[in-house]
Amino acid sequence: MTMATLERRAVLGLGGALAAGVTLAPGMTLLAAPAERTEASAGRRWAMLIDTNKCTPNCTSCLSACRKENNVPLFGEASRDIHWIRKVEIRDKEQRRPTVNLPVLCNHCENPPCVHVCPTEASFVRKDGIVLVDEHRCIGCRYCMIACPYKARSLVYHETKRGPESNPEVPIRSKGVVEKCTFCVHRLDNGQMPACVEACQGEGKGAMLFGDLNDPRSEIAKRLHTVATKTIRADLGLKPRVYYQGL
């Protein structure tokens, strides 16, 4: 057993003790304050619409923008590299429909199974419906990774360091925690679009659209009322917030 393992177990043990309350002296108990979480407006319902007719196989603008914006590392190991968003090719087995290429990411479900199975409440839902991970609570059990039907979560297997090109607005994740797409929550809170959407509308093909479904004037709300869309694994009843046109 390595010293790092011992240190991590010691920290986790302390965290558990604080969560339960530690008696310092008779009649005096130290209770841990819950992790601070950014509040958001419950009146918003963020969602993404991806037009697969515009998403071409060779375009990786959204992938590159996501990795750069969120300091998503590559370790050079196919089985352990982290991808917040990835391109997937879907073929019709009977060859009656053309092959479709589409980005897949965390779907920020209204009924997220990752949140339900998390034993430490590290996975949680903001008031505006964005599903996030509190790395200070995450113990790396990977229950959430198993529960996610979109394979949108990754465990950080290696230590990562901040480099000269790292985005200072996004933290560098610790080894042993789970991470995933956040809809670029730090950008949303500043009135900006997610990096992938901005890149797709700029240097990409304009396949991605993002906005507030609760705002009837928003482009995405209007589009979802006028075009046929689908969600991935709608049969699971998770109510994902990433919609696809042309799927």
Give the Å distances, CA to CA, from 244 to 3, 173, 217.
Answer: 47, 30, 20
Helix and strand totals (H; E) in the chain = 7, 12
Of the pLDDT bands very low, low, confident and very high (cuts 50, 70, 90), residue 37 is: very low
Higher pLDDT, 21 or 68: 68
Convert the pLDDT of each residue in 202-220 to its tens digit: 988 899 999 999 999 999 9
| Residue of 49, 105, 87 lying closest to 245 (CA atoms) | 49
Task: Give the best-scoring range by mean pLDDT among 5-19, 31-45, 173-187.
Answer: 173-187
Average pLDDT over residues 25-41: 47
Convert the pLDDT of each residue in 187-197 to its tens digit: 999 999 999 99
> Is the pLDDT assigned to residue 79 strictly greater than 90?
no
User: Which residues fall within 8 angstroms of residue 61, CB to CB, at 6 or more apart?
Assistant: 196, 199, 200, 202, 203, 204
The pair of structure tokens assigned to 68 is 């750069």
List of long-range contacts for 156-160, beta carbons under 8 Å, 24+ apart? 156/73, 156/82, 157/75, 157/77, 157/80, 158/73, 158/75, 158/80, 160/71, 160/73
Q: Per-domain residue ranges for the chain?
A: 1-30, 40-245
| Residue of 79, 91, 85, 82 lying closest to 59 (CA atoms) | 85
40-245 is classed in which CATH architecture? 2-Layer Sandwich (3.30)
Average pLDDT over residues 35-62: 82
CA distance 28 to 82: 44
pLDDT attached to residue 96: 78
Q: Is the pTM of this model over 0.85?
A: no
